[in-house]
Amino acid sequence: MNVDQAMRSRRAVRNYKDKEVSRRKIEKIMDAVRNAPSADNRQDWQFIFVKDEEKKRELSEKAGIQSFVRKAPIIIAGVTTRPESEMTCGVPAGVVDLSIALDHLTLKAVEEELGTCWI
């Protein structure tokens, strides 16, 4: 699958199969994230992988009306590690950089035949 196909195929998926995501697929996805550009190549982000059912339940409760997250086999939470960082134009650099990394993540997930949904 090429990038254009991945962009055209990507959808917000809210119904997940009850099937574990392989470690190999997760590694491929995170490799794509590592190649995402960021301000000064700082990669001021962390990704937290949640498989524990109790933790997924807690996150689901915090997600409000987006309770479907509990049914995902894995939740990948991306967070910026420097929320105070700003670009020269005043835009939060961490949020922009994290968004680019998450876009890489979702496109690679499409290639790996996995569904994703931003929340």
Is the pLDDT at 108 greater than 90? The verdict is yes
CA-based nearest residue to 47, from 60, 38, 66, 34: 34
**pLDDT 10s digits, 11-43:** 889 988 989 999 999 999 999 999 999 988 999
| Token pair of 66 as six digits | 């987006």
d(CA 76, CA 95) in angstroms, rounded, equals 16
- Other CB atoms within 10 A of residue 18 CB: 6
**What is the percent of the chain where pLDDT is above 70?**
100
Q: 57-103, pLDDT tens digit by residue?
A: 998 888 888 888 888 999 999 999 998 888 889 999 999 999 999 99
> Count of H helices and E strands in the chain?
4, 2
Q: What is the pLDDT of residue 67?
A: 83
Domains and CATH numbers, the chain: 3-111 (3.40.109.10)
Residue 50, strand partner residues: 75
Full-model pTM: 0.87
